[in-house]
Each structure stands twice: as structure tokens, then as C-alpha cells.
Chains A and B, each alone.
Chain A
Amino acid sequence: MFRYTKLTLLREVGLWALALVFLAPFYFLVTTALKPDSELFTTSALAPPTNPDFSNFIDVLTATGNSNVVMGLVNSAIITAGSIVGLIALGSITGYVITRSTRRWSKGAYYLFLIAIILPGQLGAVPLYMGARALGLTGSAWGLIILYTGMLLPLSIFLYANFFRGLGTDYEEAATIDGASKSQIFSKVVFPMMAPATGTVTIFAGLIVWNDFFTSLIFLGGSANQTLPVAMYYYIGSLVSQWNSIFAIVIVSMIPILALFLFAQKRFIQGFSGGLKG
């Protein structure tokens, strides 16, 4: 019935045409970043560079101070990895307990987390900043890891809770009968089984933390430990309409995440389409 017909071919060609228009911004991004300063205002914005060179990228990677991109990459990687670890550890155990518990408060706790997902962050931003400063958490990678873990924990718990809800208790019951303790059941039986949920949490948390600008701008303000988006923001702030240099740093900032996406795109898309159901 649904065979490949001429109409399907037409549909496929049409979709490719649409994709080319849709991805045109990437064309401008790459061609402009490769233009030397001399060509920036003399060639058409639509044309590729006649003498492409990588000098803009070299400038970006050797920038120092506030806009030290290499430092930004390292800091972003540390903060993202730390937050993911925190979110997996706390999210899995909390999601597990509130799903498996038959106590009345566990349902209340579930809604506590659900509402926290949609609260807008701005209302709490100033009190949070003052609290973090009083505890000495501003300006350090550790502080930001704790903050991100707390901020994204409701989402992580929600994803884990939905996963555990769909997971039967057969294995846990069998392990109990075999004499495993509650902590053994969690670490040896449940933890290995929850890999799909862990994958989804890693993707969501990784994307959000890696791409986040506002939180790191405020909580790392003025320190030398900038994250990549903040370094990019400062670097671009020093340029006026130097689109070739701006786009060089934009490309540098998006290469890690795009590479990861293209490498694990199936997992990414599954995480997005499957993880949010329920």
C-alpha cells in the first residue's frame, strides 16, 4: 500500500528544498566566519569568501581575560559534567523513593517537584543570589554545580519518576526474597536498569547547563572562571559589527554540542520525544 511512488519522490525533493532554506543560517554562519576583515564589507552578504582564511578562529582561540574562550570551554565542561553527576545521583534516588513509596506525602512531593519545573526563575533570582553569596557559592564552579543541580533537579526527578512508574517491581521483589538489603537493591538491581532514564536526564541537563547564559552571568559575575556563553558574550561585546569574528566564536561555541548531537543523534531525539511523555 504505502510504496515509494513518484509522489513520494516529489515529497522527498520538496523536503530537501525546505531543509536547505531552513538551514541557510548555517551557510551564512560558516561563510562569514571564513571571510577576512578586508572582504567583510566589500563582498555581498550572500557570497562565499574569495580568499577564505582561519585568522578569525585563531583570534578567538587566543583571546585572554574575560573572553578567554579556552578557559570557558574547560569551565563549561567541568560545570556541565558536575551538574549531570549531581542530577543523576539525587534525581534517581529521589524519583525512586517517591514512586515506590506508598505513603501519602510521596504524592505531595511529586507535585512539589512538578510545580517547581514551571516556576519562572526570575522571581527567586535575587534572593537566591544573596543566599549563594552569603554561603560563598558565587564565583566558583562548585557553587554553580550546586545551583544547577538544585534548579534542574525537579526535571530530573520528574523524568526518573515517570521511568520508575513504568518499571515493574518484579526484580526488586525477587531481590528482596533473595535477601538483598534496600540499598543493595537500589545500587545493584535498580541503578543498572535505569540507564534509559539516565540517558534522557544527561541529554536534557547537559544541553540546558551547557547552553545557559543567564545563571552563569549572574553567579560567576566578575570572576575569572567564566563559562563559554559568558566568554562569548564578553568577546562579542568588544566587537561592533565584526560579524566574521563574532561568527568564529559562535562556531567554536557550538562545535562541541553539535558534534555530540550528530554523534548520538538517535539517542538525543529519543530522549526528547520519549522522555517527556507521561
Chain B
Amino acid sequence: MTATMQPKSEAAEAPRRGKRTPGAGENTRPRRGPMQFGHWWWALPGIALVFAIHYVATGIGGFFAFTNWTGIGSFKITGWTNFEAIFKDPTKLGALSNTLFLAFGSVLLGNIAGLVIALGLNRVVKTRYILRTLFFMPVVLSPLATAYIWKYIFDFDGPLNAFLTAIGAGDQAKPWLADPQWAIWTVLVVLVWSSTGFAMVIFMAGLAGVPVEVEEAAAIDGANLWQRFRNVTLPAIRPAVAIATTLGIVQGLRVFDPIMALTGGGPAGATETLATLVYKQAFALGNFGGGAALALVLAAIILIFAVLQQRLTRSNPED
């Protein structure tokens, strides 16, 4: 909505603005209202580029969601057919539930792990900066490289099975990535591994803002470790929790690279997500209309959760 309104209001403002500031380089101070800095048209290249690359491209893609376009040649407008097909197809519904499972699972586990490590590193630990650097390392790696490392770890001849055999649990060894039941858990492990460090630094920054005096006062008043966390620390780091979870969910819902490199969505669609299905439908199977419809569903889900998260954090009395 805002997107379509935008150029209109700019055009309406343009002539008015142009008349008011004759000679842009002159050192005239505005006669009324707050002081103005910068010219409005300085923002035009940025707005135009974002508009073309994000909104126009997405808009065209969204239009094709209602067609049977294959990616080349002619097409027919088919209305809601593509969307009906999504909600009737069990593989696509499976991909939807996988997407939600991976997004929420990785956010939950990654944030819990990040919070535990951040709490552990908080205050007095002498090597906290070295440890922080070590735990953060996976965050800077490319998802592709990360996925290759883990692919070997979960390989049938890989370290995980070798370890299980070494501790006498060799009967538990299995081809993890090819096992329909376990494959999605391997993806979850990889996502948690690469996001824990990110959650950790956000929590560490939040924890650094908790005044020592308050914690001390609570401890002197006899609050135990859990009570201190629950009533002093947690309320203070609430904004940090909000940021870490929002970003995690948006990222998690879009997850693509690690799955393509690890399992390719297999075995038998067990790790397929909306993002990998969109790619396969639109680029590999030549069903661009269907792929675009899926992408539209994904976009809607992401927007819903992002707005929901924003609402939840804004209504907090603590903020």
C-alpha cells in the first residue's frame, strides 16, 4: 500500500519544494519551522533502486503467482488455482510445517544456548573475550561452507558414527542425512550451531546493561540464582530477547543455502522448506506461477510474524 502511494506524494511535493528553495547552494536559512538539512532529492537514487529491485520485481513476481506461466513464453491468468494447489498438496503442506519447525526450533534452541553461554560469560570470567570470539566464529562462515563441514560429520563414514562406535554405541550409527526421520534434526543442529553465537552477543550486550548494584541488592536480600535471573536480569534484557528472536525467525523462515548443500530437501522431501520448494518449482521444474504463489505464501508468513513480534515487544510496559 505504502509502496504504491509513494511516488505520488513525492511528485506532489516536488514543485512546492522547488519554489521554496531557489538556488540550492545558497546559505539561506529557512524562515519558519525546524531547520532543514539535506535536500529531499538526495534520497531519490536510493528510493528508485530499492523500488526497482525490491518492489517492482516482487510485484511482477506476485502477479505471476496468479498465472500458469512456466518462465518463458505465454501464460494465462488462473486466479487462485496455484494457491488451491498448495493447500491440497501434502508435500507442500509438509514443506510448510518443516519451515515452521526449523524456524521456531532454531530460534528457540539457538536463543536458549546463546542465553546460557552469555550468562556463563557474564562478569568475572577471566577468559570471557577469548571464549566470546570462539563461540561467535561460526556466525561469520558462509552457510555453504558450514553445510559442507556438517555434511561430512553426519556422513555414514564420518566422525559422528565413528564416535558412536568408539563409545560402544555402534548400533546407533546410521546415515543421518539419508534417514527420513533424522534428516530434519541434522538441519536443525546446523542452524542452531551457526546462530548461537549471534544470539549470544546480543544477550551479552543486553546483560552488560543490567546494573551490578541491582543484582547485588537482590543477592543481599536473599534472592537465589533463579529468582535473580527471573526478576532482575530477564526484564532488563527483554529488548535483547525481542531483537534476537525477531531476526532469528525472519532468517529461519527463509532458510535455503544450508538445506540445498546438506540434503537438497531430501530424503523424499523430509527436509523440504518453502524456500527450497520455491526454487525448485520456479527454476528447476519450470512452474514459475506455482513457485511465485509459494513465495507469496512465504512472504505473507514472514510479514505476519514480523508484525506480530513488533506488536508484542511494543506493548511491553518495560520498554
Hey, which chain A residues are within 8 Å of B155, CB to CB?
Answer: 241, 243
A255 to B40 Cα, complex, angstroms:
43
Q: With an 8 A cutoff between CB atoms, is B291 at the interface? A: yes
A46 to B167 Cα, complex, angstroms:
12
A147 to B40 Cα, complex, angstroms:
24
Q: What are 22 A-B contacts with C-beta separation under 8 Å?
A: A14-B120, A16-B131, A19-B134, A32-B152, A90-B46, A94-B46, A101-B43, A103-B40, A108-B5, A118-B306, A120-B278, A122-B275, A123-B57, A123-B58, A123-B62, A123-B298, A127-B64, A176-B29, A229-B144, A229-B145, A250-B149, A261-B140
Q: Is the CB of B282 within 8 A of A109?
A: no
Q: With an 8 A cutoff between CB atoms, is A162 at the interface? A: no
Q: With an 8 A cutoff between CB atoms, is A111 at the interface? A: yes
Q: Is the CB of B132 within 8 A of A269?
A: yes
Hey, which chain A residues are within 8 Å of B133, CB to CB?
Answer: 262, 265, 269
Hey, which chain A residues are within 8 Å of B137, CB to CB?
Answer: 23, 26, 258, 261
Binds A, one of B48-56, B176-184, B263-271: B48-56
1/0 contact string of A184-222 vs chain B (CB within 8 Å): 011000000000000000000001001111100010000
B interface, CB within 8 angstroms of A:
2-3, 5-6, 9-10, 13, 24-27, 29, 33-40, 42-43, 45-47, 49-58, 60-62, 64-65, 71, 117, 120-121, 123-127, 131-137, 139-145, 148-150, 152-153, 155, 157-159, 161-163, 166, 193, 196, 198, 201-202, 204-205, 212, 215-216, 219, 239, 243, 247, 250, 253-254, 256-257, 275, 278-279, 282-283, 288, 291-292, 295-296, 298-299, 302-303, 306
1/0 contact string of A251-278 vs chain B (CB within 8 Å): 0011001100110010011001110110
Q: Is the CB of A182 within 8 A of B243?
A: no
Hey, which chain A residues are within 8 Å of B24, CB to CB?
Answer: 181-182
Q: Is the CB of A186 within 8 A of B38?
A: yes
Hey, which chain B residues are within 8 Å of A103, CB to CB?
Answer: 13, 40
A261 to B57 Cα, complex, angstroms:
34
Contacting B37 at CB < 8 Å: which of A1, A127, A182? A182
Q: Is the CB of B43 within 8 A of A109?
A: yes
Q: With an 8 A cutoff between CB atoms, is A78 at the interface? A: no
A interface, CB within 8 angstroms of B:
1-4, 8, 11-12, 14-16, 18-19, 22-26, 28-29, 32, 41, 44-46, 90-91, 93-94, 96-98, 100-106, 108-109, 111-113, 115-116, 118-128, 131, 147, 149-151, 153-154, 157, 169, 172-173, 176, 179-183, 185-186, 207, 210-214, 218, 229, 232-233, 236, 241, 243, 246-247, 250, 253-254, 257-258, 261-262, 265, 268-269, 272-274, 276-277
Q: Is the CB of A150 within 8 A of B52?
A: yes
- Nearest neighbor of B140 in chain A, beta-carbon distance: A261
Question: Distance (Å) between the CB of A31 and the closest chain B CB?
Answer: 10
- Nearest neighbor of B17 in chain A, beta-carbon distance: A103
A29 to B137 Cα, complex, angstroms:
14
Q: Is the CB of A120 within 8 A of B43?
A: no
Hey, which chain A residues are within 8 Å of B158, CB to CB?
Answer: 45
Q: Is the CB of B46 within 8 A of A157?
A: yes
Q: Is the CB of B254 within 8 A of A151?
A: no
Hey, which chain A residues are within 8 Å of B303, CB to CB?
Answer: 115, 118
Hey, which chain B residues are within 8 Å of A18, CB to CB?
Answer: 117
Question: Distance (Å) between the CB of B33 and the closest chain A CB?
Answer: 7
Question: Distance (Å) between the CB of A53 and the closest chain B CB?
Answer: 19
Q: Is the CB of B125 within 8 A of A12?
A: yes
Q: Is the CB of B6 within 8 A of A46?
A: no
- Nearest neighbor of B141 in chain A, beta-carbon distance: A254
Contacting A23 at CB < 8 Å: which of B134, B145, B257? B134
A218 to B10 Cα, complex, angstroms:
34
- Nearest neighbor of B220 in chain A, beta-carbon distance: A1
Question: Distance (Å) between the CB of B57 and the closest chain A CB?
Answer: 3
Question: Distance (Å) between the CB of A11 and the closest chain B CB?
Answer: 6
Hey, which chain B residues are within 8 Å of A45, CB to CB?
Answer: 157-159, 161-162
A265 to B128 Cα, complex, angstroms:
13
Hey, which chain B residues are within 8 Å of A150, CB to CB?
Answer: 49-50, 52-54
Question: Distance (Å) between the CB of B193 and the closest chain A CB?
Answer: 8
Q: Is the CB of B117 within 8 A of A126?
A: no
A15 to B126 Cα, complex, angstroms:
11
